[in-house]
A and B are shown apart, each in its own frame.
Chain A
Amino acid sequence: MAVTARPALDAQKLRADFPIFEQKIHGKPLAYLDSAASSQKPRQVLDVLRDFYETSYANVHRGVYVLSERATEAYEGAREIAREFVNAPSTREVIFTRSATESINLVAYAWGLDNLGPGDAVLVTELEHHSNFVPWQFIAKRTGADFRLLPIDDNGELRLEALDELADGVKVVATNYVSNSLGTVNPVAKLAAWAHERGAIMVVDAAQGAPHHRVDVQELGCDFLAFSSHKLCGPTGVGALWGRAELLEPMAPFNLGGHMIRSVRAEGTTWGELPYKFEAGTMPIAEAVGFGAAMEYVSSVGLEAIAEYESELAAYALERIAEVGGVTCYGPPADRRAGIVSFNVEGIHPHDVAQVLDSEGVAIRAGHHCCQPLMTRLGVAATNRASFYLYTVPDEIDRLVEGLHKVKKILG
């Protein structure tokens, strides 16, 4: 296939960085096509984690001894890497969280509870992961604000022409950058401009976008952007939120406890400076350091190269899967999607498809992908989803296709 002819990204070579591929599953090499759920981890990240724990670990901030200083330097170093990764103006605006989900909850609670009320509206898209849907639905209900959905077309792309009829009272527009179910790459900059014209804030869930596409918060023009480590070759348990300082400053804290304070007295407490106001308790320190190493790894491969390569893999997968016959693929054409292909085999439940594929060493996801409103829109209970990353090779897609023939033979 054409993909391998491109020198920009050598997936076969990168694959050697990932120890997980050294094993066999059911006696067969692992074809890992579930990177949209979580990515595998390269040695470069695992080594940093181990090294940090073995040589530099202590709790961060306020420690006056060497180890605490070292740990603080590594933790704050990761913050600077994250700042650069999304081209944020300042590290004060980069908050570590436990996940992209927590980042969104932080905004929904800390901004939403104080800024939403009856007559206001929150607009999210029909494509959202539950992480950028449920918090807004909940906070809208709590505050009496209206909760609205921007619909998609049959390709799984946002119907921007429907925006104006949903505009009344809108205070928050929330969208994912890349749909985790369909791979749709959403026009965030356009949505942000539209939101700002109406005095609304723009919140972006980049959990699926940041690992695969270059993210520049200044170019996107958004107000908040959430992303996580584990989908980006980094450890689980840590995520980040970027937010504009002028919005973060007046916001009430989200989690309360140690380290997020300026002074604590019986009669009252004052809050610390950004970003620490939002980092209560002992943070996932080593995980943040590993997250930093992961962002460096992914950046060294090149976000543009990754996006281009995955789009080619998606085109190849769509073409090969269509050859199987009796398979419906969902989502936009390959040139407008990330490396995610959702599909159904006619008359065969995704769980059965995934189970047979597993016996061939091919790992895909089957289910609603935390997108039940989207599944309802597509008129299905669940889909199969194959998703790719910088270590995915075309051979894995070929094995998926062979597996689908076996699925049809057994269950068709």
Chain B
Amino acid sequence: MVDDLYREVILDHYKNPRGHGVIEEPDAQAEGLNPLCGDEVTIYVQFGDDGETIDEVKFSGRGCAISQASTSMLMEMVKGRTAAEIAELPKEELLEEVGIPLTPVRLKCALLGLGVLKVALHRAKGTPLPDEWAGLDELDLR
């Protein structure tokens, strides 16, 4: 089971995260915390000339391998797509990419980045934020 969980692609994204860094003066930004284990993720977005398409996206923070790897995968997945598309992106699409069996506790780790990105877009563009992600919008980082 553990070999499935920490399969090569997860470890690769964990050890060499894509899009790890900070965008100075981003068009959208949000930070989120998984209070269960203290994973922290901040996501920065820069839109293209149309003001809708995600031109550049980066993340910073610290956390477990699952949260860091899944956020890294998310960065690759959302670039070039519009805010409206990502607001509606079903979590299953990311989970399929992550591709490992997750217990309920670890599911929260895997979905932290996606939730934070949706909050960032909601704050910048007023895109809809379904209830399941609303909790993240209310959390303050310590």
Are chains A and B native binding partners rather than an unrelated pairing? Answer: yes
Chain A interface residues toward B at CB < 8 A? 26, 348-352, 355-356, 358-359, 366-368, 372, 375-376, 380-382, 410-411
In the complex, are the beta carbons of A355 and B142 less than 8 A apart? no
Bound Cα distance from A350 to B62, whole angstroms = 12
Q: Closest residue to A410 on the B side, CB-wise?
A: B6
- Name the A residues within 8 Å of B106 (CB-CB): 351, 355
- Name the B residues within 8 Å of A351 (CB-CB): 37, 39, 64, 66, 105-106, 109
27 CB-based A-B contacts, threshold 8 Å: A26-B1, A348-B65, A349-B62, A350-B64, A351-B37, A351-B64, A351-B66, A352-B6, A352-B64, A352-B65, A352-B66, A355-B2, A356-B6, A359-B1, A367-B36, A367-B37, A368-B37, A375-B38, A376-B142, A380-B38, A381-B37, A381-B39, A410-B2, A410-B6, A411-B6, A411-B14, A411-B65
Main secondary structure of the interface of A (DSSP, over half): helix
Given the interface pairs A368-B38, A381-B38, A381-B40, the reply to whether A349 lies near B2 with Cβ below 8 Å is no
Residues 103-120 of B at the A interface (beta carbon under 8 Å): 105-106, 109
Q: Which listed residue (B5, B6, B11, B37) contacts A349, Cβ 8 A?
A: B37
- Name the A residues within 8 Å of B11 (CB-CB): 410-411
In the complex, are the beta carbons of B65 and A349 less than 8 A apart? yes
Main secondary structure of the interface of B (DSSP, over half): mixed
- Name the B residues within 8 Å of A380 (CB-CB): 38
**Interface residue B63 (Cβ < 8 Å from any Cβ of A):** yes
Bound Cα distance from A352 to B5, whole angstroms = 10
Which residue, A349, A358, A368, A382, has most C-beta atoms of chain B within 10 A? A349
- Name the B residues within 8 Å of A367 (CB-CB): 36-38
Q: Closest residue to B62 on the A side, CB-wise?
A: A381
Taking the closest CB of chain B, its distance from the CB of A57, in whole angstroms, is 34
Taking the closest CB of chain A, its distance from the CB of B11, in whole angstroms, is 7
- Name the A residues within 8 Å of B105 (CB-CB): 351
- Name the A residues within 8 Å of B63 (CB-CB): 349, 381
In the complex, are the beta carbons of B6 and A382 less than 8 A apart? no
Which residue, B1, B14, B65, B109, has most C-beta atoms of chain A within 10 A? B65
Given the interface pairs A351-B109, A372-B142, A410-B11, the reply to whether A356 lies near B38 with Cβ below 8 Å is no
In the complex, are the beta carbons of B65 and A382 less than 8 A apart? no
Q: Closest residue to A376 on the B side, CB-wise?
A: B142
Bound Cα distance from A355 to B10, whole angstroms = 14
- Name the A residues within 8 Å of B65 (CB-CB): 348-349, 352, 411
- Name the B residues within 8 Å of A411 (CB-CB): 6, 11, 14, 65
In the complex, are the beta carbons of A382 and B37 less than 8 A apart? yes
Q: Closest residue to B105 on the A side, CB-wise?
A: A351
Taking the closest CB of chain B, its distance from the CB of A160, in whole angstroms, is 27
Taking the closest CB of chain A, its distance from the CB of B37, in whole angstroms, is 5
- Name the A residues within 8 Å of B38 (CB-CB): 367-368, 375, 380-382
- Name the B residues within 8 Å of A358 (CB-CB): 2
Q: Closest residue to B68 on the A side, CB-wise?
A: A349
Q: Closest residue to B33 on the A side, CB-wise?
A: A381
Residues 35-51 of B at the A interface (beta carbon under 8 Å): 36-40
Bound Cα distance from A382 to B36, whole angstroms = 9
Taking the closest CB of chain B, its distance from the CB of A401, in whole angstroms, is 17
- Name the B residues within 8 Å of A375 (CB-CB): 38
In the complex, are the beta carbons of A355 and B37 less than 8 A apart? no
Bound Cα distance from A368 to B137, whole angstroms = 22
Bound Cα distance from A350 to B64, whole angstroms = 7
Taking the closest CB of chain B, its distance from the CB of A242, in whole angstroms, is 32
- Name the A residues within 8 Å of B64 (CB-CB): 349-352
Taking the closest CB of chain A, its distance from the CB of B124, in whole angstroms, is 27
Bound Cα distance from A368 to B37, whole angstroms = 7
Known A-B contacts: A367-B36, A381-B63. Give 4 more (CB < 8 A): A349-B64, A352-B64, A411-B14, A411-B65
- Name the B residues within 8 Å of A352 (CB-CB): 6, 64-66
Bound Cα distance from A411 to B2, whole angstroms = 11
Q: Which listed residue (A348, A350, A410) contacts B37, Cβ 8 A?
A: A350
A-B residue pairs, 7 tightest by C-beta: A381-B38, A359-B2, A349-B64, A351-B64, A382-B38, A352-B65, A351-B37
